[in-house]
Structure 1
């Protein structure tokens, strides 16, 4: 199976495609400096196969590359960030305590 993660800027969301079928989304809201991830969903047919991890990883990397800090409002994104110290650095210092992340 091939996977592809795309940033659908018109809908403010990253989308993961598996063999050209939409498998899930990570919705966001941008501010001037941060990208707040508000909802992530992997559709049931694709659940339990690691696509959520792939989607979040690609979305955070793309956001970093675009110069955004990350606000992990969505539980899936929050869990991903808190278990990977290299991504905690993407959360602005002022927001880390709010999200229970290390300073």
Structure 2
């Protein structure tokens, strides 16, 4: 999955899924290939059909261009297409769903509040146990 979009400056950017590492992520890159940010997630094997988003980061030099919002919207749209329930541990995802959750559900999305087991799954993945 690679989607071309434009940021707030009108510059082309690309949002892509990077599942080549232990922790998967949606990434946003500039047209020249420079990585500008990422939204990390895990798909816990014990909770099939769920995706836990736990960290979103945009490089400081690319702040203010709306890239975090692009990442969140693309990741959520892909979660709908894959019929996944989103678990927003990341404050960026949680804030977006607090504000736009009803619209997300109306588009066919599902999400739920994080539980202790979700935090444990993130901890396991980030400590190399996944």
With normalisation by structure 1, the TM-score equals 0.84
Q: Distance in 2 between matches of 1:34 and 1:43?
A: 27
State the number of aligned residues.
Answer: 95
Gaps of 5+ in 2: 1-10, 116-130
Larger Rg: 2
For the pair 1:28 / 2:41, whether they are aligned, the reply is yes
Does 2:17 align with 1:7? yes
List, as ranges, runs of 4+ consecutive aligned residues in structure 1 with deviation greater than 4 Å: none
Pick one of 110, 120, 125 that aligns with 1:90. Answer: 110
Map 1:1-103 onto structure 2 (within 5 A): 1-11=11-21, 12-19=24-31, 20-31=33-44, 32-84=48-100, 85-87=102-104, 89-92=109-112, 95=113
Partner of 1:16, secondary structure, is strand
Kindly report the root-mean-square deviation, in angstroms, between the aligned alpha carbons of the 2 structures. Answer: 1.6
* Deviation (angstroms), 1:8: 0.5
2: distance between equivalents of 1:73 and 1:86? 19
How far, CA to CA, are the matches of 2:95 and 2:30 in structure 1? 23
Aligned partners of 2:15, 2:103: CA distance in 1, in Å?
A: 21
User: Mind listing any 5+ residue stretches in structure 1 that lack a counterpart?
Assistant: 99-103
**3-state SS of 1:48 partner:** coil
Deviation at 1:9, TM superposition (A): 1.1
